[in-house]
Chain A
Amino acid sequence: MGQTITVTVNGTAHTADVEPRTLLVHFLREQLTLTGTHIGCDTSTCGCCTVHLDGEPVLSCSVLAVQADGCAVRTVEGLSEGGELHPIQQAFHENHGLQCGFCTPGMMMTALGVIEQNPQASDDEIREALEGNLCRCTGYQNIVAAVRSAADQMARS
């Protein structure tokens, strides 16, 4: 039996019929075809699926779509505006903060959550905040450098 929900995703309200068992990540990827949010595990361990739910970073694989009814969701697709990269995207690009890119949407959404809540975050705080986001490629150094640079850039602007 379906349940009707309305979720505002990246500023656009979507009303849809979902089965209660649908995970938020499946709703985003399959019903809204926003495939930027990735799925990397079955155990809520990898962080690839991180999105913002009413401004808070959450693992969209650990939230039911029906729980997001009436909420605002921001995904990686909502970062750039008018063709301009968001500072966090620009910083990942400039600092070579990605290789295969699989972890990148989750990394950026977690990092952005940290920067928004703690604009003065130290490198140690950035590392700690990213503890739930696994990357199999980069070795993390360039990711931390990218987040550092985005935080500084966002503090200036």
Chain B
Amino acid sequence: MIPSTLEYTKASSIDEAIAAVQAGARPLAGGQSLMPMMRLRLAAPGAVVDLGGIAELVGVCEDGDEIAVGAMTTHRAVAADPLIGEHCRVVAQAASGVGSLVIRGRGTIGGSLAHADPHGDLPAAILAVGGAVIARGPGGERRIEIGDLITSYLTTSLADDEIITQVRLPKGNGRSAYAKFHRRAIDWSIVGVGVAIGADGVRAAATGVADRPVRLAGFEAAINGGASAEEAARAAGEGIDPTADLDGSTEYKRHLAGVLAAQAHQAAQG
């Protein structure tokens, strides 16, 4: 289908983009989620502002104890980035499994977080390392931890006039990995789990088991308490209540979360 009538502007600076968003425009990043939604008329913004011309939103650099990733950095660039690979491998791996090669060349890390799909891979991977975003609006900048950013299906705590400018990834998560299960290469994860072995223990976060990415508290408690990965996998379903749908039953998805957590934990050690 054809999207409904809209106005298009391309911002050349963050301030210009914020002014457009303040006037009611929807940010357009890689378009890999927004455009299909507009074609299906699930979204019908009266105006969009293209963030594709803002150079300072693209790129990866070190900043103290964190890696700063520009919101418009593509999945392909995140997957191949040496800094992210070294310090937050789970995020690079999650990015490398998004959609297809062509989709990864346009879809962005900021768009994935703002879109907040309950089956998105990046949100779970970034939750596993305890990342955050920098949001900027007319009143200035604020930092939002990933756990506070995504509040429900396709819903975030961003204000209507804020855009994500940066994603912050804490260093020290080199020993980490992402495991996902899906039926066809192009499909979204039915369930995906990111595991990071950090200085303060193992963190595990899953996508596809709730209306937002969640920590797998049962798995974490078991593995940090000295349980084997197999035992911990059995505890992964504690505290999560995934919705049964065509992909599988609640029990099946709980089981999948445990299996994937154990796989990711194993891979994170190597």
A50–B103 CA distance with the chains assembled, in angstroms: 10
Chain B 1-19 near chain A by CB (<8 Å), digits 1 or 0: 1111111101000000000
- CB B201 to nearest CB in A, in angstroms, measures 34
- CB A35 to nearest CB in B, in angstroms, measures 17
A32–B219 CA distance with the chains assembled, in angstroms: 56
Q: Are B101 and A131 in contact (CB under 8 A)?
A: yes
Q: Are B6 and A20 in contact (CB under 8 A)?
A: yes
Chain B 184-208 near chain A by CB (<8 Å), digits 1 or 0: 0110000000000000000000000
Interface magnitude class on chain B: 20 to 34
Q: Are B101 and A63 in contact (CB under 8 A)?
A: no
Q: Are A44 and B103 in contact (CB under 8 A)?
A: yes
- CB B94 to nearest CB in A, in angstroms, measures 16
A63–B52 CA distance with the chains assembled, in angstroms: 12
B207-224 residues with Cβ-Cβ distance < 8 A to A are: none
Nearest B residue to A132 via CB reads: B100
Number of interface residues of A (CB under 8 A): 33
- The yes or no answer to B159 lying at the interface (CB within 8 A) is no
Beyond A44-B32, A63-B35, whether A132 also contacts B102 by CB under 8 A is yes
Chain B 32-52 near chain A by CB (<8 Å), digits 1 or 0: 100110111000000000101
| A contact residues around B1 at 8 Å (CB) | 42
| B contact residues around A21 at 8 Å (CB) | 2-6, 38
Q: Are B105 and A57 in contact (CB under 8 A)?
A: yes
Nearest B residue to A127 via CB reads: B185
Nearest A residue to B2 via CB reads: A21
**Which 6 residue pairs of A and B lie closest in terms of their CB atoms, listed nearest first?**
A132-B100, A131-B185, A20-B8, A62-B35, A21-B3, A44-B36
Interface residues of A (CB under 8 A from B): 1, 3, 19-23, 26, 42-45, 47, 50, 56-59, 61-64, 66-67, 110, 113-114, 128-129, 131-134
Given contacts A44-B36, A134-B186, 5 further A-B contacts (CB under 8 A): A42-B39, A43-B40, A44-B103, A57-B105, A58-B105
In the complex, 7 of the A-B residue pairs with CB atoms within 8 angstroms, ordered by the A residue number, are A3-B8, A21-B5, A114-B101, A129-B101, A131-B100, A132-B185, A134-B186
